[in-house]
Amino acid sequence: MRLGPDITRIAALLGEPARANMLAALLGGEALTAGELAREAGITAQTASGHLAKLEAGGLLVRRRQGRHSYFALAGEDVAEAMEQLVGLADRAGHQRTQPGPKDPALRKARVCYDHLAGDAGVAMLDALIAQGRIADHDGALALTDQGRGFAREFGVALDDRGRRPLCKACLDWSVRRSHLAGVMGAGLLQRIYALGWARRIEGTRVVQFSAPGLVSFERTFARIP
């Protein structure tokens, strides 16, 4: 490929196992220290420093300084989406870890993808919003309808469409292989779900765990209309 963006540089950054593990550890949207990322990758702090410098120079990570400490986070939602799709590609191609983790089934049910809800619950929520007429799906391009804006106000989601981030965006879900909802609306809905006490994020993981009454409320609110 001689014209256009050079994907080989990104592929080389992602193709190193330690760097891939560090990026995967940041898929939940949080910022982590170099030491925390070194432990996630199973490498020394000195080795992690070199990898983090390459990821930062390559535009995949951003460094945030707080006092004497530096924290690293994904450079944007697009990096998270690219990682999510690569996970899906690996899953479809049969490239699995030899020892799946005990939380894998829970991740498939409900998890954080950067800052929005993914997994079975995330896909079901988007399906319901489309069926309810709150989001319009134009061949994969999502748009918030007037009805959807009204729902957002009533549900307690503040929408700001003045920024560069789209209100609604489809994000391909690796475990369900269909889209869940990203963008301002997707992030706002997940934060509201937390605030209502319907679900919480399991510390140290990307798993979103619903309480029994919270799941009932979630399913009632995001029920598909026949």
Residues forming a β-bridge with 33: 71
**Per-chain mean pLDDT for the chain:** 90
Q: How far does the chain reach from its first CA to its final CA, in angstroms? A: 47
Question: Same domain for 208 and 143?
Answer: yes
DSSP collapsed to 3 states, 111-162: EEECCEEEHHHHHHHHHHHHHCCCEEEECCEEEECHHHHHHHHHHCCCCCCC
Q: Summarize pLDDT for 101-119 with one digit per residue, the tens.
A: 546 789 899 999 999 999 9
Per-residue pLDDT band for 197 (boundaries 50, 70, 90) equals: very high
Statement: the pTM of the whole predicted model exceeds 0.85: no
Express as a percent the part of the chain with pLDDT over 90.
65
Average pLDDT score over residue span 10-26: 92
Average pLDDT score over residue span 117-131: 97
Q: Which residue has the higher pLDDT, 128 or 96?
A: 128
Q: What is the pLDDT of residue 93?
A: 78
Dihedral sign for Cα atoms in the order 84, 15, 21, 50: negative
Q: Summarize pLDDT for 55-80 with one digit per residue, the tens.
A: 999 999 999 988 888 899 999 888 98
Residue 86 domain flag: no
Question: 3-class SS at 190?
Answer: helix
Question: β-pairing, 69-74 with 199-201?
Answer: unpaired
CATH number at residue 12: 1.10.10.10
Dihedral sign for Cα atoms in the order 86, 89, 93, 97: positive
Question: Same domain for 61 and 169?
Answer: no
Q: What is the pLDDT of residue 152?
A: 97
Q: Summarize pLDDT for 207-216 with one digit per residue, the tens.
A: 999 999 999 9
Question: Same domain for 57 and 122?
Answer: no
Per-residue pLDDT band for 52 (boundaries 50, 70, 90) equals: very high
Residue 96 domain flag: no
Q: What is the pLDDT of residue 102?
A: 45
The mean-pLDDT minimum among 19-23, 98-102, 136-140 falls in 98-102
Place of tokens 């690219």: 82
Where in the sequence is the domain holding 189, given as residue range(s)? 104-221
